[in-house]
């Protein structure tokens, strides 16, 4: 598969031929279920789009039954930016319903398979985007990251996934899960492509009230030769598998060999991250999903009266995981529990942010695992709590609003990819990409 950087140099004729070949390759690999639809918008470079990002005149369903029949009336800001840069949306990728999940098994369209091992999950919720890139069925893709939903599937599928600083990429046109945590980001074959796609989709947007008034570009200033201070977290990785610990040690040695300074730091027990995240995310999800009532758009199940129509529509339209999170969100926001849970979660979120800021007073980047294990097999995380705990290393980044990038480091004995992430201070994407490119070159890993 050609890279995004290479695709930008193709002639019109070469690009049209490439897109024909790509469509044929996608059609020949339906069992992967990375794509829900293959649609081509415009004559630009084809980029796969997660099914929760609005593309005008496309069916956009967030992987849910309740949105069957909904046609997007407008383009998300990231889509407009892509079209203006000569890129074109090319197919909807599968995802966990409303981005709620870590395996892409909760999708209305069925599960997506990991392109490395079909018995394993591709991660989630952006599993379709990760699988498409990992299988060579996309040059690059867009995903969304609420608690690791770009970085974790990227790690499981052996590709690069980048979550920008909160506010650096417009959320206008993104189907909301948790509005204070969601970010759209690039999923690519390498770090340089991620920087190129990030530059295209980032920037200030008046349509998004949380958009940062910044338009800085990074790809034309990439410098893998910069010598950085990078924090490592020995105690933080103690609960990770031996595969992850081994890759972590390998990455540290590679960074040292590249001339970076390694500094040991500590962070508080990640169990507090999990608690703060799931209280915050489910509370916001409950509010955001209240609009799906079968009246304004999407599927409707007619009831005996208006109230019964609401109940029947939502009962039949939402899957089990979404219902579970709606119930939890309503609980933590309910009278008598709001102070005990939601307010405490916000205080904990502030502590997490302060902890990161303290570490970044002394270092440029933090090296962390993405997940405690490699991709698990289907059915292994049948307990919802086990699935929630698989996000243990990613969710604090979203709670603090920081940028982070997952990149492949090695493979385990079974050939499954192992990814790690670098984390930077807010709005310091340049250092994040510089350090990530340096690590990529030092590791020399090829998917």
Written as six digits, the tokens of 248 are 């972590």
Alpha-carbon distances of 73 from 56, 59, 92, rounded to whole Å: 5, 10, 16
Whether 297 and 70 have beta carbons less than 8 Å apart is answered as yes
Give the chain's end-to-end CA distance (angstroms, integer): 12
CA atoms lying within 13 Å on the CB side of residue 26:
28
Is residue 50 part of the annotated active site? The answer reads yes
Q: Which of 50, 111, 163, 425 is catalytic?
A: 50
Does the annotation mark 207 as catalytic? no
The DSSP element (H or E) to which 29 belongs, if any, is none
Rounded CA-CA distance 267/424 in Å is: 15
Question: Which DSSP letter does residue 338 get?
Answer: I
DSSP bridge pairs for 338? none
153 neighbors 127 (Cβ within 8 angstroms)? yes
Site of tokens 């209280």: 279
Task: Give bridge partners of residue 145 from the DSSP assignment.
Answer: 183
Structure tokens at 180: 């204070």
Q: Is 9 a known active-site residue?
A: no
The catalytic residue among 64, 88, 125, 129 is 125
CB under 8 Å to 340, separation ≥6 — which residues? Answer: none
- Identify the active-site residue in 149, 202, 396, 438: 149
Q: Which residues are catalytic?
A: 50, 125, 149
């Amino acid at each position: 598969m050609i890279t995004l950087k290479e695709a930008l140099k193709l002639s019109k004729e070469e690009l049209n031929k490439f897109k024909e070949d790509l469509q044929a390759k996608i059609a020949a690999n339906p069992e992967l279920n990375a794509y829900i639809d293959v649609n081509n918008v415009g004559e630009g470079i084809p980029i796969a789009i997660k099914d929760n990002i609005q593309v005008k005149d496309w069916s956009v369903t967030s992987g849910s039954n309740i949105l069957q029949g909904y046609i997007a009336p407008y383009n998300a800001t990231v889509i407009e930016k892509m079209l203006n840069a000569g890129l074109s949306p090319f197919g909807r990728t599968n995802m966990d319903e409303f981005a709620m999940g870590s395996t892409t098994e909760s999708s209305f369209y069925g599960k997506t398979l990991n392109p490395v091992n079909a018995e394993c999950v591709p991660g989630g919720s952006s599993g379709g985007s990760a699988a498409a890139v990992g299988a060579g069925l996309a040059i690059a893709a867009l995903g969304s990251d609420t608690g690791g939903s770009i970085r974790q599937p990227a790690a499981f599928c052996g590709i690069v996934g980048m979550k920008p600083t909160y506010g650096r990429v417009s959320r206008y046109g993104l189907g909301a899960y948790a509005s204070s945590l969601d970010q759209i980001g690039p999923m690519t074959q390498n770090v340089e492509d991620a920087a190129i796609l990030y530059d295209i989709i980032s920037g200030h947007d008046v349509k998004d009230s949380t958009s940062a008034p910044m338009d800085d570009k990074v790809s034309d200033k990439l410098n893998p030769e910069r010598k950085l201070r990078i924090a490592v977290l020995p105690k933080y990785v103690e609960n990770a598998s031996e595969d992850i610990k081994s890759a972590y040690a390998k990455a540290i040695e590679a960074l040292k060999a590249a001339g970076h300074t390694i500094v040991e730091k500590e962070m508080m027990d990640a169990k507090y991250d999990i608690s703060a995240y799931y209280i915050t995310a489910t509370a916001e999800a409950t509010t955001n999903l209240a609009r799906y009532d079968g009246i304004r758009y999407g599927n409707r199940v007619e009831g005996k009266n208006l109230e019964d129509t609401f109940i029947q529509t939502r009962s039949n339209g939402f899957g089990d995981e979404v219902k579970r999170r709606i119930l939890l969100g309503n609980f933590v926001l309910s009278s008598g529990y709001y102070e005990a849970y939601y307010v405490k979660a916000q205080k904990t979120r502030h502590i997490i942010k302060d902890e990161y800021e303290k570490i970044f007073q002394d270092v440029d980047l933090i090296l962390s695992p993405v997940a405690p294990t490699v991709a698990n097999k289907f059915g292994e995380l049948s307990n919802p709590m086990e699935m929630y705990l698989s996000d243990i290393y990613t969710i604090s980044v979203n709670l603090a609003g920081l940028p982070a990038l997952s990149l492949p480091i090695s493979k385990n004995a079974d050939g499954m990819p192992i990814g790690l992430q670098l984390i930077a201070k807010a709005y310091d994407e340049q250092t994040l990409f510089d350090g990530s490119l340096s690590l990529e070159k030092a590791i020399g890993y090829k998917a």
